[in-house]
Amino acid sequence: MAKSFKYIYSDIKFTIFERHKKWWLDFYWKKKRIRRSTELSANQDNLKVIKKQIIPDIIIGLGHKIEETMKTDKTEQTLNEFAQEFFDMQRARKEVREHVIDKNIAHYNKHIAPLFGDKKLVDIDIEELDKWQIQLLQNYKHLTVQKFRSVLFSILTEAVRYKRIQENPLSFVKAPKLKHKIDEDINPFTETELIKISHTAYGYMKNFIFLMVSTGMRPGEIVALKWNDINFEKKFIRINKTVVRGNEGDVKTYSSNRFVDMLPQAELYLQRQFELTGHHEFVFLSSFHKQFYSHDIIGVNFKKILQKSGVEVRKLYNLRHTFASQMISKGADIVWVSKILGHKDVSITLKIYTKFIQEDDDMRFKKIEKMGTILGTIEEVSV
């Protein structure tokens, strides 16, 4: 699908669109329509060049008085117009992953643009934003509303940085309080539930599910796995990429680049999967022997398996939580678990999974007795 962007420079509205893999410009000058090719390939880097160099040169060439109109631009610019610039710059900087930008654009188009998109940046006021947030809270969870809010907050913060507005009006609207965020997000499967799932799932779906349970890998990381990432001899799995919406990219964070120990259950299901796709490049392929576009279809199939097995439906990501919670509750070293999960540091793992760190009374009493002995020794030495 061809791309098209609206862009205002000075008081002239430009449409930048893709045709035959090149960027074209479409605008009106003195009531005459002008449409021309820039001869630049249609990519994000060239889009930035067009906005920062080519369009200003065109304006100067037309003899337009930029100085007199730039002030008008900054005060007349609508939220939609600036939001387009904001998302374009995010793509150009490559500081945010593509699928995250796409998701934020979807949130913007559905929950922000209908109410504020055509408003001038300078006309968006606190009272309207307060009412908007209250309305959202009537239909969505606090955590979900926080996601929508963060998209708008980031756009308005950038508008302040570019001096389009003097202050961010959303900063004066109290953010929704997140209640029991971790408890809402994490709902691991019990051993009984896993047995039911095992009796219902089959083929690559069963292998995918239980590889996730036995490694704690993220769904996108598993979809991106290639057989050259699997080392059966040395019992490890290399994780250095992920797949989102058909694009293979870097993993979530630097610490997500890691080697995962291949536990016996993980090896079992990888061996079973090897029988299905061992002669292909990727470990997991669709029923049509094609690489997965994303893990979305896995999530859809997983939901059907849960419904069929009579297990409470929840997100695919809870299989990762299942690995972590079971390992921690059974006494696995928290540092090892954190490393396997690809967390930046142990504090993140502890924050998420603290409630699963349990000890029976005998173990607790032994630790108390040991600590008492140590403290007694310290007291004797200090006397």
How confident is the model at residue 132, as a pLDDT? 95
How confident is the model at residue 256, as a pLDDT? 63
How confident is the model at residue 379, as a pLDDT? 43
CA proximity to 10, closest of 80, 58, 47: 58
CA gap 57, 10 in Å, rounded: 12
CA proximity to 182, closest of 143, 217, 151: 143
* Close Cβ partners of 375 (under 8 Å, ≥ 6 residues apart): none
Q: Do 136 and 148 touch, CB atoms closer than 8 A?
A: yes
pLDDT digits (tens), the chain, 383 positions: 568 888 888 778 899 999 888 899 999 888 888 888 888 888 888 888 888 778 887 877 776 544 444 444 556 789 999 999 899 888 887 777 787 888 899 999 999 999 999 999 999 999 999 999 999 999 998 888 999 999 999 999 999 988 889 899 999 999 887 654 545 568 899 999 999 999 999 999 999 999 999 999 999 899 999 999 999 999 999 998 775 544 554 444 555 688 999 999 999 999 999 999 999 999 999 877 888 877 888 999 999 999 999 999 999 999 999 999 888 888 888 888 888 998 888 888 888 887 776 554 555 455 555 555 544 444 444 44
How confident is the model at residue 375, as a pLDDT? 46
**Residue where the block lists tokens 């690489």:** 291
How confident is the model at residue 376, as a pLDDT? 46
How confident is the model at residue 299, as a pLDDT? 92
**Residue where the block lists tokens 């964070």:** 253
CA gap 14, 280 in Å, rounded: 47
Enter the tokens of residue 232: 């059966």
* DSSP label at residue 344: S
* Close Cβ partners of 271 (under 8 Å, ≥ 6 residues apart): 232
How confident is the model at residue 64, as a pLDDT? 56
CA proximity to 299, closest of 315, 312, 310: 315
Adjacent-strand bridge partners of 249: 242
Domains assigned to the chain: 1-76 (no CATH), 77-179 (1.10.150.130), 191-356 (1.10.443.10)
Enter the tokens of residue 95: 């500081």
Q: Do 245 and 99 touch, CB atoms closer than 8 A?
A: yes
CA gap 156, 123 in Å, rounded: 12
* DSSP label at residue 217: -
Backbone φ, ψ for residue 104 (5° rounding): -65, -35
Look up residue 36 and give its amino acid: R
How confident is the model at residue 179, as a pLDDT? 56
Alpha carbon separation from 380 to 113, 214, 281, 368, 383 (Å, rounded): 71, 47, 65, 18, 5
CA gap 194, 197 in Å, rounded: 5
Q: Do 211 and 237 touch, CB atoms closer than 8 A?
A: no
Adjacent-strand bridge partners of 259: 238
Q: Do 15 and 22 touch, CB atoms closer than 8 A?
A: no
